[in-house]
């Protein structure tokens, strides 16, 4: 009986400490997660382009982050009365070797539908940019898988602005 009573007392003293550590572990994860993304709006004499690309980033530490994202892009061409729908997903890795510099790698798989045709286009972007604190970065990325006959963009080089909250 004494052993059981002693065990109950020890467990009741340790349980609040264990519970507090578990709560801290859960909250640490979400403190390292940032949400953000971008929007794409463009108007020309021939086309209207609207897009959205939300993403989430997990900051492993002060220098390295991993993320995922989804994207949707709609383009309407006036002269041909054609619409393009592009949607996809991506995986992203960010590295900040020193203050102000951000290097990135991003794999993106995009599904493009135009009229009655559709195609799947992979892209592997390697980028470099200027990081303005933890939340904003801007730079350029290069698609190493670029194919001018398949790719969504007219050039393998594309500028980017990333905003996270």
Q: What would the pLDDT profile of 60-110 be if each residue is shown by its tens digit?
A: 999 999 999 999 999 998 888 889 999 999 999 999 999 999 999 999 999
Average pLDDT, the chain: 87
pLDDT of residue 15: 59
Task: State the DSSP string of the chain.
Answer: -HHHHHHHHHHHHHHHHHHHHHHHHHHHHHHTEEEEEEEEEEE-SSEEEEEEEEEEEEESSSSEEEEEEEEEEEEEETTTTEEEEEEEEEEEEEE-SSTTEEEEEEEEEEEEEETTEEEEEEEEEEEEEEEETTTEEEEEEEETT--TTT-SSSSSEEEEEEEE-
At residue 57 the predicted structure's pLDDT band, cuts being 50, 70 and 90, is very high
pLDDT of residue 94: 95
Question: What is the percent of the chain with per-residue pLDDT over 70, rounded to a whole number?
Answer: 84
pLDDT of residue 1: 57
């Amino acid at each position: 009986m004494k052993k059981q009573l002693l065990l109950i007392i020890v467990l009741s003293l340790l349980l609040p400490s264990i519970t507090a550590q578990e709560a801290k572990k859960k909250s640490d994860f979400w403190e390292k997660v940032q949400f953000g993304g971008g929007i794409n709006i463009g108007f020309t004499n021939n086309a209207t382009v609207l897009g959205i690309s939300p993403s989430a980033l997990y900051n492993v530490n002060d220098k390295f982050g991993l993320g995922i994202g989804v994207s949707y892009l709609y383009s309407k061409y006036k002269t041909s009365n054609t619409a393009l729908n592009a949607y996809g997903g991506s995986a992203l890795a960010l590295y900040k070797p020193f203050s102000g510099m951000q290097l990135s790698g991003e794999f993106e798989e995009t599904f493009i539908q135009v009229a009655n045709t559709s195609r799947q286009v992979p892209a592997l972007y390697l980028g470099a940019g200027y990081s303005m604190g933890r939340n904003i970065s801007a730079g350029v990325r290069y698609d190493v898988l670029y194919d001018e006959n398949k790719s969504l963009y007219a050039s393998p080089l594309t500028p980017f602005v990333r905003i996270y909250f």
